[in-house]
Structure 1
Amino acid sequence: MSDSLSHAIQLHQQGFLPQAREAYLAILAAESRNADAHQFLGMLEHQAGRAETALRHFETAVSLDPGKGFYHVNFGNLLKDLGRPQEAEAAYRRALEIHPGDAIALHNLGHLYQKWSRWPEAREALEAATRVDPGFLEAWSKLAAVNLRIDNATAAMEASNRVIALDPNHASGWFHKADALGRQEKWQESRLEQTSNN
């Protein structure tokens, strides 16, 4: 990675988005086929709400260097936000072909399925994400929610307990646990869980 790209990424990470954007554009003016610059500029444009501009840069990045899994993950994130679920799914699947153990790709795929009410597939992807990364709090939280949607209170309880173990102040962990207890007709315990989080 060049010094100029490292500097642009540093500006981006520090929240100096206009300066980072100019730095990425300067790199591309000198080297239009720099896949990394297209990728990071796509991320910045997505972050800034310029979806169509982001789309062009992500498409260019994956075309120039299709072997980088995280390019496809970020491309999938944008496609998901644009309401293009089939293309987003394909992007996440491509990322997983490159890196089968990519916990973020698995999580994001699970979230896509969750968003479109494909509950069994959401559960499968999120379970896989937690196997790869047992400390992935958001994957556990989404897994708890999905298990509640398919009326598996026991599995929802297990996932909620993992969320709480990772972060005792995570509100959704307590909420999902209380919901699971209620579905198991453990009403007193459910009320206590709700009270303890207030």
Structure 2
Amino acid sequence: MRIQKAASGYRQLLTLNPRDVHALHRMGLVCVHTNEFVEADSYLTRAVDVDPARADLCEHAGLIAAIKGEYARAEALYHRALQLAGSTVTLHRNLGDCLRLLGRLLEARAHYRAALSIEPDLHHSVRAIARISTELGHADDAADYWSLAWSLDSSSLNDGLDLIVALGKAKRTASVN
């Protein structure tokens, strides 16, 4: 009910001022909560057009583009946000995800590492680097990152199995106890 009231209010405001960046941004976020990603994309794209110097708008528009599978567009928006805001954990992590989905593993790994330089215990980035290292056949890196991922969160059976496989490939079977 609150989301519907908010949406109604933002729509009324946008009727009066279609370039109200706050209302465009908030309406985009409302649409995300209601799983209306095409509409969210429209509102956030309009918000970025009105205020292209806001990193948060670029990042949110990038998230929606990525959800829609528009990875090249998402990448461009994340790069713009990085230029505006500088390095942030979420921007590097999201850009890493986007680049990984584009098959650009080395670039993705670099952004995950940048995220880890800011937040060393970011499990998402550690696991992503472990996966990339495994895909690239970098056995020692894969073992190191799967070990770190396991130390940060040992709740995933698949991570545990991936760790055991990585340790085997790195010839560190003595580590498996």
The bucket for the TM-score relative to the shorter chain is: 0.7 to 0.9
Q: Distance in 2 between matches of 1:143 and 1:81?
A: 21
Offset, 1:74: 1.3
Helix, strand or coil at the partner of 2:18: coil
Change (3 A) 1:116 1:30: same
Equivalent residue in structure 2 for 1:182, among 160, 168, 172: 168
Q: How many aligned positions are there?
A: 177
Offset, 1:141: 1.4
Change (3 A) 1:92 1:175: farther
Change (3 A) 1:172 1:116: farther
Helix, strand or coil at the partner of 2:137: coil
Change (3 A) 1:135 1:186: closer
Instruction: Please give the TM-score of this superposition, normalised by the length of structure 1.
Output: 0.77
Offset, 1:82: 1.9
Q: Contact 2:89 / 2:116 at 8 angstroms: preserved in 1?
A: yes
Q: Contact 1:39 / 1:71 at 8 angstroms: preserved in 2?
A: yes
Equivalent residue in structure 1 for 2:74, among 85, 88, 96: 88
**Cross-structure match for 2:140:** 154
Q: Distance in 1 between matches of 2:114 and 2:164?
A: 25
**Cross-structure match for 1:114:** 100
Offset, 1:25: 2.8
Offset, 1:168: 3.1
Q: Contact 1:144 / 1:176 at 8 angstroms: preserved in 2?
A: no
- Equivalent residues in 2 for 1:14-25 (5 A)? 16-25=2-11
Offset, 1:154: 1.7
* Cα deviations by residue, 1:60-102 (Å, 9 ceiling, x for unpaired): 1111222221211111111122222221110010011012211
* Cα deviations by residue, 1:110-152 (Å, 9 ceiling, x for unpaired): 1111112211111111111111221222111111111111111
Pick which of 164-173 and 119-128 moved more: 164-173
- Equivalent residues in 2 for 1:23-38 (5 A)? 23-38=9-24
* Misfit runs of 4+, over 6 Å: none
Equivalent residue in structure 2 for 1:127, among 108, 113, 119: 113
**Cross-structure match for 1:7:** none
Q: Distance in 2 between matches of 1:37 and 1:170?
A: 40
